Amino acid sequence: GENVEQHPSTLSVQEGDSAVIKCTYSDSASNYFPWYKQELGKRPQLIIDIRSNVGEKKDQRIAVTLNKTAKHFSLHITETQPEDSAVYFCAASIGTGGFKTIFGAGTRLFVKA
Amino acid sequence: GAGVSQSPSNKVTEKGKDVELRCDPISGHTALYWYRQSLGQGLEFLIYFQGNSAPDKSGLPSDRFSAERTGGSVSTLTIQRTQQEDSAVYLCASSLVPGYRDRGTDTQYFGPGTRLTVL
């Protein structure tokens, strides 16, 4: 079955710097890759997603890139702010025959002011 | 409108007892997911319902776990003969119509979770 690996598990950056989180997936049939942000004690919320028919997507300070050949995708946060501190989860799912979603283990991001 | 709701928010039970966790998805959402999140860990897929199709149960960890979705709306996750390792936050999510290329229909909206503690 699908397996999603996420690195690093913890990331600490200075306010204003960029943060990059990387994920790899195992099932080449995966075609939808969302990223979720979970603040302490709160529920996960979608921040950005990408489909397999595009290589990059950007939304203000957040961007996601996808390399289908290598089966990896990355989240890029620029100009980080303290409120970006949270746990970020990548996920992969297959759009045919169901939409089972497998999440990575998460990256705890600390943005130091 | 109302988001995904779950009840109870907290459940403390004794080892060996059965528990039922409830999820009310967003009205009109056809897909419903259950996940388990242990302390400081990621989201573990448990089960997925889509419309009237047979659910994908491949993530259920043992036959003590079962789930149903009545009338295509409310879902109940049942854990029989609970064990201490079942202690976790159980999250439910729903999405509108997964698989379409339209933006937003795949987005999973999560409920607040049920924190289960098995003593």
What confidence score (pLDDT) does residue A53 get?
Answer: 80
Indicate the DSSP class of residue B20. E
Considering only the beta carbons, identify the residue of B44, B48, B101 that sits closest to A99.
Answer: B48
The tokens describing B11, both together, are: 């459940």
* A101/B101 CB distance under 8 A: no
Q: Which of B96, B49, B51 is nearest to B75 (CA)?
A: B49
Computed over every residue of chain B, the mean pLDDT equals 90
Mean pLDDT (whole number) for B70-74: 85
Q: Is pLDDT larger for residue A32 or for residue B91?
A: B91
- What are the pLDDT digits (tens) for A19-41? 999 999 998 888 889 999 999 98
As a whole number of angstroms, the distance between CA A7 and CA A22 comes to 5
Q: Flag whether residue A25 sits within 8 Å of chain B, measured between CB atoms.
A: no
Contact A63, A74 (CB under 8 A): no
- What are the pLDDT digits (tens) for A63-107? 999 999 999 999 999 999 999 999 999 999 876 444 788 999 999
CA angle B9, B66, A35 (to 5 degrees): 60
Of A23, A46, A108, which to mutate for an interface test with B (greatest number of B Cβ within 10 Å)? A46
SS3 B85: helix
The tokens describing B9, both together, are: 């928010």
Considering only the beta carbons, identify the residue of B101, B108, B112 that sits closest to A101.
Answer: B108
CA–CA distance from A39 to each of A20, A52, B25, B82, B88 (Å)?
18, 27, 21, 29, 17
DSSP lists the bridge partners of residue A19 as: A77
Local confidence band at B105 (pLDDT 50, 70, 90 cut-offs): low
- What are the pLDDT digits (tens) for B23-61? 999 998 888 999 999 987 889 999 999 888 888 898 999
What secondary structure, in 3-state letters, does A46-79 show? EEEEEECCCCEEEECCEEEEEECCCCEEEEEECC
